[in-house]
Amino acid sequence: MSDDTAPDENWGQQFDRLPPTADDRVVDGRPSREEVIDWWDERFGVDPAVFDGYTFWEKGAGKIWAFHGEVVDPIEVEGLGMRILRTRQRHWKPSTNAVQRFCGDATRNVIELSPGEAKAFVDGHDQQLDRWEGDWGYLTAAHEIAGELEPLGVGLYLHGELRSTVPKGRQEDLVKLD
């Protein structure tokens, strides 16, 4: 049970709230709320105010969840808000769902795809896209729909190639409607 867990361990069966800042850190390697919000700002230009009212949680090593409410800490449930970020690795990796939810107004590291490229991206294909002159690493892939740019998901850009990280389950969403 959670009661048996020392406060300085990460325990995979429960959600633990992130410390506000690095100075408040008790569990080794756990990112702070501030670091998570700064990451979205630095990587994609997401306004930190977007996350006002959100609480941030870790379940399992490095899997960060954002929840738009308050519950007790720790809490033992199956899910808490949305998985947004994989940390505890050199390059933090955002989730498809989080990029769709929070990067609508992103100002940095957004690559706009043509209709054909967007379709290929969502189908999970990697593509040679030499026109990108920005950072390597995780990008928000977006396309135009109903007159505005809308995020599709996360692409990993390396050596001129945009690799799709759209999960299999979401690839099917393009054709399903009933």
Partner 1 sequence: MNPLQRYAPLVDDEEAFFAACERPLPSVVRVNTIKTTVARAREALDDEGVAYEPTDWHPGILKLEDSSPGTNWPYFHGWLHGQEEVSALPAIALDPQPGERVWDTCAAPGSKTTQIAAMMDDEGVLVGNDNNLGRLSALRHNAERLGVTNLVVSNQDARNFSMKPYGERTPERDASFEQFDRVLVDAPCSCEGTCRKNPDVLDEWTMNHVKSVAGIQKGILRRAVQVTKAGGTVVYSTCTFAPEENEAILDFVLEREDCEVVEWDVPDGFETAPGITEWEGDEYDPSVTKARRVYPHHNDTGGFFTAKLEVTA
Footprint on this chain of partner 1 (rule: CB under 8 A): 53-54, 66-73, 75-83, 97, 100-101, 119, 122, 145-148, 150, 152, 169-170, 173-178
Residues 18/69, Cβ–Cβ less than 8 Å: no
Q: Which residues contact 139 (CB under 8 A, 6 or more apart)?
A: 109, 110, 111, 132, 154, 155, 156, 157, 162
Two structure tokens written together for 87: 């940390």
- State the nearest-atom distance from the C-beta of 156 to partner 1, in Å: 20
Which DSSP state fits 32? P
Query: Which is nearer to partner 1, 39 or 65 (by Cβ)?
Result: 65
Three-state helix/strand/coil letters over 104-122: CCCCCCEEECCHHHHHHHH
Which region holds residue 26: left if phi is over 0, alpha if psi is between -120 and 50, else beta? alpha
- State the nearest-atom distance from the C-beta of 61 to partner 1, in Å: 20
What is the distance between the alpha carbons of residues 23 and 30, in angstroms, rounded to a whole number?
12
- State the nearest-atom distance from the C-beta of 166 to partner 1, in Å: 9
Query: Which is nearer to partner 1, 13 or 107 (by Cβ)?
Result: 13
Query: Which is nearer to partner 1, 9 or 73 (by Cβ)?
Result: 73
Two structure tokens written together for 150: 């809308």
Query: Which is nearer to partner 1, 25 or 101 (by Cβ)?
Result: 101
- State the nearest-atom distance from the C-beta of 130 to partner 1, in Å: 26
Query: Which is nearer to partner 1, 112 or 137 (by Cβ)?
Result: 112
- State the nearest-atom distance from the C-beta of 133 to partner 1, in Å: 27
